[in-house]
Structure 1
């Protein structure tokens, strides 16, 4: 039996296999990024931060440890259920669609680790940007941490096999119609699984055009988690600060 779905981000992110495949993400690097980012933004003590598309909440938990009042939001019920194990008086998690604004206002909204550009309808990307801005306080900042598309495409590994927790993940990557695809096939407990990740290959110029349409002011760009200058041919990331 082969399991797959058209609404890939709602299904793949909601499986335990997603978290198995990506279990080795660098937590030290994530914490360094949060240290550098909160320092750069000079957020007030007890600032309210929204971690948008928070997954299982690794960034949210650390931000809360730094003293911030944090809300983690994600479309995946499974991820939020896992994240809620860390909840406390100043750390909350909820299921939420990033295209919809929040009722309360935040001092900062972080959208991290390429958690943007998933939608079939490109208008939903602009809708997401507008929702972020509507959810920011008067002096709040939005942050999007995206891949540097040019470098990713130039270094795309077409095929790869990765074994994690005894599961052999067969991964294919390719570019079609300005979308970067990752096909993931594996077998577990006698069942075959097939999932596809699909992310719009958005450049800085694409973001600038969308932000202009959404009435957003881009303040600064960085190229890595140490907040060094962005170079389109060299940088690992595209990190944008806006309001």
Structure 2
């Protein structure tokens, strides 16, 4: 009959053997390289098929792959079936090369071309009006706080604006321009809503001052500038297009 000590020794040896097999290189389960995973050609399946694989990638690769996917989504290449099956590794190589060639536009987003009739349509989509302001009783102004109202008749909220506003009036032989520094709208200007643009401006032209006091017939236009929308789309106006 086996003694208690012998049974203990056999159990101990068995446990050690199992433990050694578990950590032996030849017995460990193979690790799959996430970069070899193929990206589904159907973009609607990306989240479902690549969720766990995405989490296995280094943080830097995750960011690059995210920009690649957004670029493909914006180009509608996957929806049209124009893209071949691509591995994550190939996508990262392609995206890094694309960003090297297009450092200012890593996702390939398109900016609306605002010229000719398109410019008029865009101006109507984002009209600007002058709000009532307090002026001095004299015919000379040094500094005045100008308040403009920017309306959004587009489909996407407006996040920011920077540019030049032009004031035109029948009594003015030459329009007056107002430089607007970068303004972040908080909250963003939602479709069919309006937001304020407030700037300080020096006005010494008597006719300009009178036009401000009596704004009947006055028009305010975006002479040049850039609107950034909530979906990161950029809308350019005037000479900003050539920059």
Give the TM-score taking structure 2 as reference length.
Answer: 0.20
Instruction: Please identify the structure whose Cα radius of gyration is greater.
Output: 2
Give the number of the structure whose residues are more often helix, by fraction: 2
Give the number of the structure whose residues are more often strand, by fraction: 1
Give the TM-score taking structure 1 as reference length.
Answer: 0.20
